[in-house]
Amino acid sequence: MPMDHLRLGPPASPSDREPRTVVLHRFTVRGSFAIRLGRVARLLSSFGSAGSLILGGACFLAFAALFGMSMENLEVLRGDKLILRGLLFHGFHGVKPEERKLGQKFLIDVDAWMDLRAAGKSDELSDTVSYTDIYRLVKEVVEGLPKNLLEAVAEHIASTTLAKFPRIMAVRVKVGKPHVAVPGPLDYLGIEITRYRSSSKRDQVVCA
């Protein structure tokens, strides 16, 4: 990238700034934040175990603020989850005519966060969500009605998972295309999204 495209100061006005300039500025801000956090970390470390406890809590809050994530959602992502990896289905999603006509393989990963303690203690399937049920849901979406974008495929999987399985508090969906016409080797190209159950619905699940 030519050096004349690098802006390290405040971002330009929306009318004349380029997308790469915005990204660079965003990373510059986050980088400065990380440097300051590192200085605070070294200071708190000098206070021993008490400082370490304060540091842990500070880092937890800092990263939540930095990435726009609520404390409640952060707590969910630190908990138990169901994992489905490498699900492969043939679908007809895409914007090109040949994608709609011939179709292609789609690679799916799913993480579904829920409390697994009850199932761990009871050893009963009724106390958890079956992997095969999530698998079937993903299969129906990917092999179902074609969509233009991978984002729409992932959103459909995520929203349907949260709607169908009330115990699941959050879901992460990764959708990849292993066979893409690009000039070079690759495993796949794709997208990843994370969606959370709303606080009000979450409370209803807990009360139930």
Tokens coding 174: 């990764």
Active site residue 177: yes
Q: At what angle do helices 19-45 and 49-66 cross, to 10 degrees?
A: 170
Which contacts qualify for 151-159: CB closer than 8 Å, 24 or more apart?
Answer: 151/191, 151/193, 152/93, 153/91, 153/93, 153/106, 154/191, 154/192, 154/193, 155/193, 155/195, 157/108, 157/110, 158/193, 158/194, 158/195, 159/195
Catalytic residue among 81, 147, 174, 177: 177
Give me the residue label for tokens 């540091």.
Answer: 55
Tokens coding 34: 């990380």
Catalytic amino acids? 177
